[in-house]
Amino acid sequence: MRRRSNCYLLLTGALLLLMALAFGHASMVRADNTQVFQRRAELVQSLGLTDLCLFTDARYCRHPSMADRNTAFQDNPMSFEHFPSGSLFMPPPHLKERTDEVD
């Protein structure tokens, strides 16, 4: 009769090992990608880019950091979304927090 606790402890041990491997894998990939990050950062610097290309359905979704308060059909960053992507993220903090002095 195979002992149940042995099976369970083996399974848990295997899962924990996999988790440790995942963390190890993450660490390895991060180290491997250092060059990639550098090349990306260089491209960003040379072109003067400001945003990630995550959402391309609307201007304020494509360049949230550059968005103005009054994109077409929108009254303010807190108004209802017209594009699905806009519901995924908050308006940039500087649009909500900016004081009149700098705005």
Q: Interface with another protein by CB under 8 A: which residues?
A: 1, 3-5, 7-8, 11-12, 15-16, 18-19, 22-23, 25-26, 29-30, 33, 36-37, 39-59, 61-66, 68-71, 83-85, 87-94, 101-103
Closest approach of Cβ 100 to another protein, in Å? 9
Closest approach of Cβ 79 to another protein, in Å? 13
Which one, 68 or 79, has the nearer CB to another protein?
Answer: 68
Q: Which of 52, 51, 91, 54 is nearest to 71 (CA)?
A: 91
Closest approach of Cβ 85 to another protein, in Å? 4
> What whole-number distance in Å separates Cα of residue 16 and Cα of residue 93?
39
Q: Which of 57, 49, 68, 50 is nearest to 91 (CA)?
A: 68
The stretches of the chain forming alpha helices (DSSP H) are 4-32, 34-47, 59-62, 93-97
